[in-house]
Structure 1
Amino acid sequence: MLLKKIKNLPNSPGCYLFKNQNNVIIYIGKSKNLKKRIENYFSPKEKNKKTNLLISEINNLSYILTNNELEALILESNLIKKYTPKYNFKLIDDKTYPYIEITNEKHPRLKISRYKKLPPNKNIFGPFPNQKEILKQIINILYQIYPLRKCHPLEKKPCFYYHIKQCIGPCCQKKVNYQENINAIVNFFKGKNYQIFKKIKKKMLLASDNLEFEKADKYKNILINLKKILEKQFIDLKKNKNYDIIAFDSNQNEISIYILQMNNGNILDKDQIVFTYVSSVTSNILTYLNFYYQKKIIPKEIIVGQELKKEKNNIRKLLNIKVCIPTKNVKFKLYQLALKNAQENLLKYNLIYQSKYQIIQNNLIKLSEIVEKEINYIEIFDNAHLFGQSFVSSMIVFKNFKFEKKKYIKFLLNKKIKNDFEAFRNIIQKRYKKILKTTKILPDLILVDGGLAQFNTALKILKKMNVNIKLGALKKNKKHQLESLILNKKEIFLDKKSELFKFLSKLSKEVHNFTIKFHQKTKKKEDFNTLLLKIKGLGKIRYKKILEKFNNITEIKQASCEEFKKLKIPCNILEKIKKILKK
């Protein structure tokens, strides 16, 4: 069926959506020729690990035609945001850049603001990516040299800062040199730093002449700190040219992208990412840049290398921006610097990844030798309770060399369950009875958090269900630390310094922490429900109405009297509930 679909695909631009056996979208891509691109996935040509893994899961596909490749790129971006497929790289975060702003008030203040797009007619300076602490230092220094007001709104009488001479008091003095201070600050951000240095030196010498050495020392420190800060020049972006330099390096599995942000000839900041990819390198870079500049400020110009020559027009149209490929001069040298960093990041990533991958692979090989079966996919179970009450259980998954958190499961158990054995019987039966009804792959190994008794309980239920999966138990000591591994009803003591012991301890901690968090949340909800039923005037019918209307405790906290009246519940009941929540 899938091969027939591929044969009938059009030679047109568009987006394709790969789906797994459950019809879940697992990857979204784009191409100027859908048929050629998709046929390429299923050709005998050698592919990277991620692509091979993707192909093994493809069960179906659909596609959307577009007029051109650019439209396909924009559509791809929207579809990835909507469906968040697991094989597409993670999207860039939504944070904006911080700026220093001089407010448009009668007596302006300094403040840190965040913008995606700069508003018109405002004194805004920056951006200052990843420099929040430096911004605070700058504002603090400027307030010490130019004592502007800090209060918002403007006080009607002198405040604390006025009395300690850190504000010139526009609230109580009609004639103050306020605008002079503002002009000096604007000049400072435009790079005219001599005025502020002159003023600080003057204050320092005056304090020294008056034998106020502590004060003189304070100004000396301000001078030193300001010089350090000004090692990076601050630019008014609305008036100075700015551009980004984009370089990348790639291997068969990963792409490293490095972006230098330039302002007025200075390196303002950098962004870097390394990610595994599917499809072509340039296609992934275009997709990344599209996401990147949806969240960042688009400069006037982008510098790229010869490798993106064919995509130059696509980038220009997509971002409505000038794209330059330098071959000499300063921009070329800066591009080479960005490229060197991209190459270095890829090398570091591979060394770190290979090291981690190798350790996990070795652990799985050793575990496979002990279990006498190749292990790649493990499911681990644990229970939690409070003195035999409020039992909950959970299951975590370790597969393809990592924890697959999206596949973790929480089990709410029957209140009649009073011990570990009943809990394990219940959850193992639930889990594998459900899997056996589907075509889902069974794990290579099941681990239960417990000793021999828990192992035997799980083994009996698996045999009863005719489930032939290797089983083990992670036995802990009194300090709740891993002590041994139980396999084939035998206890195996591992060297506590060995990597395998550390790996099994990590599995044990992960399932324990996940279960405890779930138990705490459940217990909190149970306690709240018990307290609710003790409120006079809140019977079971009203209690049921509250639970049907509100999804969680936060919603009840934020509930209004009107909402309770609609449920035909008096407002005094809401007040009593909120008092309980405060406790």
Structure 2
Amino acid sequence: MLEAKFAESGSVRLYRPQRGDKHRLVEQSENNAKNLLMHKRETEDKTTKFLAGIASFLGLEVLPRRIEAYDISNSGDEHTTCVMTVMIDGRFVKKEYRTFNIRNQGQDDYAAMREAIERRLGHPEWDYPDLFLLDGGEGHVSTIKSLLDEKGVVIPVFGMVKDEHHKTRTLTDGENEISLMKRDDLFRFFYRIQEEVHNATFGKMDAKRRKSVKSTSLTDIEGVGPKTAELLLKHFGGLKKIKAASFEELVAVNGISRPTAKKIFDFYNSEDKE
């Protein structure tokens, strides 16, 4: 076909060597291409088979080719972030990841998750997923199922429930728990997703915390540099709680000396700081 196409132009001829080094090079190239194609097909077949297993396990009507996972991270009352990770055909696709800075601040994870996914649904140009996974339990799932019902959107939702070792031990559909303990392949699969979304969320929140250190009044206090400020923000979860902390609570922070604790306490409790 390619040769006939070039022949039409009358200016290009294809030549296939019949012997010698060039002939062996052409044969090697053909074999490499065939092997690559076979490997690609085998991989696609394995992926499809595995996704079909997940669909059967969870009772899904379609293969979960696109899976979106969500996790919430709070830094006190000041910053709440939700990160969306995306897996397509069993592979994480980082260019599809999204971050939602929650506008209604506070520490209500359910409301934050609802806001993030409601905003996500407002982007139909992003392909809708075949499966929503939430880092959370029954309450998170019920909240999002209610949202989807309101929007008339049909997408399966499951929560990833951690054990005492912070590993995904079960999934929940909002009413029933589905144990992963007897399916090591599925346990590793969902644990990998939960770790990915957790790490992505923590990374975003840590960046916000570092940014907060640059603008916080903490570094205006004598003896408090960026590292100490970050340590305090991480321990208390936000500047608001640092301001409200007692001297004893400040001293209890590992790495904060009594003189530094006193300076911090005095800074936020002197009359001219009211």
Q: Give the TM interval when normalised to the shorter protein.
A: 0.5 to 0.7
Paired amino acid for 1:426: E
Distance in 2 of aligned mates of 1:350 and 1:453: 46
| Larger relative contact order, structure 1 or 2 (CA cutoff 8 Å, min sep 6) | 2
Q: Secondary structure at the match of 1:383?
A: strand
Q: Does 1:365 align with 2:52?
A: yes
The Cα shift of 1:448 comes to 0.7
The Cα shift of 1:393 comes to 0.8
CA shift digits 1:3-33 (9 cap, x unpaired): xxxxxxxxxxxxxxxxxxxxxxxxxxxxxxx
What's the counterpart of residue 428 of structure 1? 117
The Cα shift of 1:347 comes to 4.1
Alignment match of 1:461 (pick from 123, 147, 160): 147
Paired amino acid for 2:187: F
Alignment match of 2:107 (pick from 396, 415, 418): 418
Distance in 2 of aligned mates of 1:392 and 1:327: 64
For residues 117-516 of structure 1, the aligned pairs below 5 Å read 326-328=17-19, 332-333=20-21, 335-369=22-56, 370-375=58-63, 376-386=65-75, 390-414=79-103, 416-432=105-121, 434-435=122-123, 438=124, 441-495=127-181, 497-516=183-202
Whether contact under 8 Å (1:396, 1:409) holds in the other structure is yes
What's the counterpart of residue 240 of structure 2? none
Higher helix content, 1 or 2: 2
Q: What TM-score comes out, normalization by structure 2 length?
A: 0.65
Whether contact under 8 Å (1:366, 1:500) holds in the other structure is no
Whether contact under 8 Å (1:396, 1:407) holds in the other structure is yes
Q: Give the direction of change, closer, same or farther, for the CA distance of 1:324–1:529 in structure 2 (3 Å limit).
A: farther
Paired amino acid for 1:367: I
Paired amino acid for 1:353: K
Paired amino acid for 2:62: E
Distance in 1 of aligned mates of 2:89 and 2:66: 7
The Cα shift of 1:371 comes to 2.7
Q: Does 1:519 align with 2:208?
A: no
Q: Secondary structure at the match of 1:467?
A: coil
Q: Secondary structure at the match of 2:216?
A: helix
The Cα shift of 1:485 comes to 1.4
The Cα shift of 1:325 comes to 5.9
Name which one, 1 or 2, has greater alpha-carbon Rg.
Answer: 1
Distance in 2 of aligned mates of 1:480 and 1:307: 62
The Cα shift of 1:443 comes to 2.5
Q: Secondary structure at the match of 2:70?
A: strand
Distance in 2 of aligned mates of 1:326 and 1:468: 58
Q: Give the direction of change, closer, same or farther, for the CA distance of 1:350–1:500 in structure 2 (3 Å limit).
A: farther
Distance in 2 of aligned mates of 1:377 and 1:532: 44
Q: What TM-score comes out, normalization by structure 1 length?
A: 0.33
Q: Secondary structure at the match of 2:194?
A: helix
CA shift digits 1:217-274 (9 cap, x unpaired): xxxxxxxxxxxxxxxxxxxxxxxxxxxxxxxxxxxxxxxxxxxxxxxxxxxxxxxxxx
Q: Secondary structure at the match of 1:367?
A: helix
Query: What is the aligned-residue RMSD (CA, Å)?
Result: 3.6
Whether contact under 8 Å (1:357, 1:401) holds in the other structure is no
The Cα shift of 1:483 comes to 1.0
**Unmatched tracts of structure 1, length 5 or more:** 1-279, 283-305, 316-322, 537-583
Paired amino acid for 2:136: G
Paired amino acid for 2:82: S
Q: Give the direction of change, closer, same or farther, for the CA distance of 1:440–1:391 in structure 2 (3 Å limit).
A: closer
Q: Secondary structure at the match of 2:152?
A: coil
What is the number of equivalent residue pairs in this alignment? 219
Q: Give the direction of change, closer, same or farther, for the CA distance of 1:439–1:520 in structure 2 (3 Å limit).
A: closer
Distance in 2 of aligned mates of 1:416 and 1:313: 68
Paired amino acid for 2:168: L
